[in-house]
Structure 1
Amino acid sequence: MTVTNRQSGTNVHEVADGIYRINTPVQIVGAQGFSFNQYLILDDQPLLFHTGPRRMFPLVREAAASVLPIEKLRYIAFSHVEADECGSLNEWLAAAPQSSPLCGAVAALVSIEDLADRAPRALADGEAISLGSRIVRWLDTPHLPHAWECGVLFEESTGTLLCGDLLTQPGADLPALTESDILGPSEAFRHAMDYYSHTRHAGPLLDKLIATAPTTLACMHGSAWRGDGAKLLRELAGALSGA
């Protein structure tokens, strides 16, 4: 792990081959510690998944620049429209002049075509694009865990599922990559915060993600996880069915 900003604790760790987790721990007044993660995929056309909040842009940019020249970024991607997902989208577009937003078709239609300073590359459910030697595939997950436009990206060569808020873990001092239980902490947090949408379609949507058989789950908050991702997602589906 490389700490890129000692004051904030922002750090970078390679969680899968050529995929880097950028992490900034935070303390929320009156609450437990928390963290924000972004994921940088290296290739001919590098991709950043999650931008971080707008005020966190200098920290995330500094961290990303420790891995590659920022101007080489080609895609700025995210799961859904929320400050920590795409709050600094336009700052990234300005810093990387050849880049464009990458998101699901619904996000492009209802928000990003207006909010972003450049037109987005909108992906349909199941659509894949090449970054060079890698393929990433967009999977719609409407209202899972929240937002109509929600979706995830699957990087095929490493089996990495960039799964957004699905397995959010509280805590500011967690390992970058773990094989330990993350479902227990994330379920405790979900029950306390009630931030899932309670969609009736969670089961079929999770079945679609299970079919990718991921070996790394790139979570937006907390540790990234390595192991039998299909098994963990089936356990999440079981927990949600009893919610």
Structure 2
Amino acid sequence: MTEIAPDTYRISTYVDPPGLVFNQFLVTGEEPLLFHTGPRAMFPTIAETLRTVLPVEQLRWITFGHLEADECGSMNQWLAAAPDAQVAHGLLGCSLSVNDMSDRPPRPLADGEVIDIGGHRLRRIETPHVPHGWDAGLYFDDTTSTLLCGDLFTALGTGPAITEVELVGPALAAEDLFHATCLTPTTAATIRSLADLAPTTLALMHGPSYHGDCVSALTDLATAYDERRQAAAHGRTVGHQGSPQ
């Protein structure tokens, strides 16, 4: 458990295989919010760690980027443990899946809609298929300029909770292994729109939280994916160092 921004705590578990850290983020306030639930098997240890900051029963919001076990697999366990909690997700994701999967009715969020948790304002930003998932979206904390960026910048291995080391190289190396990112005509533009938010902290799902030039990191990642999409259109591949193969 590490405080990576004011009132924003990263809970991190390393799992090998696949050789990744799995992170959840707790944002405290009058209505505490959890971003990412973790899979069902991890619930006991994640909940125990969260209790070092506040009682699980005080959780009000349970959120995630997109439908995937590590993002929302234990959401009903959290709902059972926190009787006043509600799942919040994008309109599309609720319509497609969460209305049926959640044990209590979720709160559907429109693109740009804000959850005011008392002390922090978290804005839902729809990012369909970025990095993957039709229902994909992220959250930006307007109060601390923290981007809860889900699977963007996924990196292999362990490391510090917070880093200023560049993120794009490790992210592209992981992409070469997992091929998890959808390369569409809107991928780069969507990531560049996140750079326009001018975040000061990037909270990664699979990697360290980043304090540095977040705008350049997002812009460079967008450029790298654009190069890969264009190369694929011409029957070429691009390695993580950017050279055609």
Q: TM-score, normalised by structure 1?
A: 0.92
Partner of 1:202: 187
1:177 — aligned with what?
Answer: 162
Deviation (angstroms), 1:229? 1.2
Q: Which residue of 2 aligns with 1:105?
A: 91
Which segment drifts farther, 152-161 or 189-198?
A: 189-198
For 2:74 and 2:187, locate their aligned partners in 1 and report how far apart those are by CA, in whole Å.
Answer: 29
Aligned residue identity for 1:26:
V
Q: CA RMSD in A?
A: 0.9
**Structure 1 position 204, deviation (Å):** 2.2
Correspondence for 2:2 among 13, 28, 34:
13
In 1: Cα distance, 2:191 partner to 2:167 partner:
17
The Cα of 1:208 is off from its aligned counterpart by 2.0
Q: Which residue of 1 aligns with 2:20?
A: 34
Q: For residue 154 of structure 1, give the secondary structure of its aligned residue in structure 2.
A: strand
Q: Take 2:68 and 2:205, find their aligned partners in 1: how far apart are those partners? A: 12
Q: Is the 8 A contact 2:127 2:136 kept in 1?
A: yes
CA deviation after TM superposition for structure 1 residue 25, in Å: 0.8
State the distance in 1 between where 2:10 and 2:115 align: 21
| Per-residue deviation, 1:134 | 1.2
Q: 1:90-239, aligned counterparts within 5 Å? A: 90-171=76-157, 173-239=158-224
Residue deviations 1:5-54, cap 9 Å, x none?
Answer: xxxxxxx00000110000001111xx5x2110000000000000000011
Structure 1 segments of 4+ aligned residues over 6 angstroms from their partners: none
Q: Tell me what 2:14 maps to.
A: 25
CA distance in 1, matches of 2:20, 2:226: 26
1:197 shift after superposition: 1.3
Q: Aligned partners of 2:208, 2:66: CA distance in 1, in Å?
A: 20
CA distance in 2, matches of 1:200, 1:43: 38
d(CA) in 2 for partners of 1:102, 1:184: 33
| Aligned mates of 1:69, 1:211 — CA distance in 2 | 36
What SS is found at the alignment partner of 1:164?
Answer: coil
Q: State the alpha-carbon separation in 1 of the partners of residues 52 and 92 from structure 2.
A: 33
Report how far residue 189 of structure 1 moved.
0.6
CA contact (8 A) 1:177 1:224 kept: yes
What is the match of residue 241 of structure 2? none
Contact 2:167 2:217 in 1 (8 A): no
Q: Identity, % of aligned pairs?
A: 46
* CA distance in 2: counterparts of 1:121 and 1:208, whole angstroms: 25
- Give the whole-Å Cα distance in 2 for the aligned partners of 1:84 and 1:101: 15
Of 51, 60, 66 in structure 2, the residue corresponding to residue 74 of structure 1 is: 60
Deviates most, 79-88 or 99-108: 99-108
Residue aligned with 1:242, SS? helix
Question: Letter of the aligned partner of 2:153 in structure 1?
Answer: L
Which structure 1 residue ranges, 5 or more long, are not aligned? 1-11
TM-score of the superposition, structure 2-length normalised?
0.91
Decide which structure has the larger Cα Rg and report it.
2
Give, in angstroms, the shift of residue 129 of structure 1: 1.9
Q: What is the identity, as a one-letter code, of the residue corresponding to 1:143?
A: H
Identify the range of structure 1 (197-206 vs 82-91) with the bigger mean alpha-carbon deviation: 197-206
